[in-house]
Amino acid sequence: MQSRFRSDRRLTVRMGLTLFLLGLLYVGFIAALITLLKSWVLVVVLVGAMFVAQFWFSDRIAMFAMHGRVVEREEYPELHAVVDRLCAIADMPKPVVAVSEMDMPNAFATGRNPDHAVVCVTTGLLRRLEPAELEGVLAHELSHVAHKDVAVITVASFLGVLAGLIVRFAFYSQVFGGGRRDQNTAAVFAAVLGVSAAVYAISFLLIRALSRYRELAADRAAAHLTGQPSALASALTKVSGDIARIPTKDLRTAQAFNAFYFTPATGKEPGIERFFSTHPTLEQRLEQLGRISAELGEAATPGKAG
């Protein structure tokens, strides 16, 4: 079913291109592993099992890692009311609504398709935002579901996760290590390590580039759906400022899931590392919302609403 979120052809093209390039990389990676490990059955079974597990259980993995739990309408009636209203406006299935008992103000959406999606907000976000700001954040997350970029990011990130795990496995596994390692085994170890590291680096850059664009696309879609880009800008400013005041050590656990968050749990605006970031800078996002506000003739100044 097509939702009423504004379609984004450039996002669709970028998602298709990223998946195509990662697909080529994926085929080459599997072929290299089969050649090096000389067991195509082992490689195909392990890789296939990991892919199915990540794709089908990504929502549960993210919820578990972020201590999220499904909440019913009786427990959070206002939160459910906002999601109900936005889904009705967007003409899309209502996702499962969840809350994470974290003070860090943030939100994320996950799930393999609109019929199996979860939108989760932290208690820190609910406590800090005004109703219009919360609506903007939830519209942003629902647009990820409607655009299906949550599933694309989940699939795209699989190759990088796999390569990273193989690098770790190569270091710690007794298959490659110990005093029994001969020259041939050492050569296989070095080759697997090198191929895995290269695949991880390439997939990392491709996914980060797509992730930054999809966040801008979600901001645009949310602003047009709600008609209040200034409220979304205000939420961005408020959440980013509050996260910056949270001690870095308290953000480390959350940083592994930055690609799924409304705002990254970095605690600071990126410098040169913005080219490797999962999100565009706050300045870029506010500038875009400012332009949309002007187009819509909004009276409020972005970043000052609420």
CB-count burial class (<10 Å; 0-12, 13-18, 19+) for 22: buried
What are the backbone dihedrals phi and psi of residue 93, each rounded to the nearest 5 degrees, phi first? Answer: -65, 145
CA distances from 20 to 23, 125, 200 (A): 5, 36, 16
Q: Which of 79, 19, 14 is nearest to 216 (CA)?
A: 14
- Radius of gyration from C-alpha coordinates of the chain: 21
285, amino acid identity: R
Tokens of 164: 């990273």
Residue 291: count of CB within 10 angstroms of its CB: 14
215: annotated binding-site residue?
yes
Tokens of 42: 């082992």
101: annotated binding-site residue?
no
What are the backbone dihedrals phi and psi of residue 28, each rounded to the nearest 5 degrees, phi first? Answer: -65, -40
27: helix, strand or coil: helix
Q: Tell me the catalytic residues.
A: 141
Measure the CA–CA gap between 246 and 281, rounded to whole angstroms: 18
144: annotated binding-site residue?
yes
Residue ranges at the known binding site for Zn(2+): 140, 144, 215
Residue list, annotated binding site: 140, 144, 215
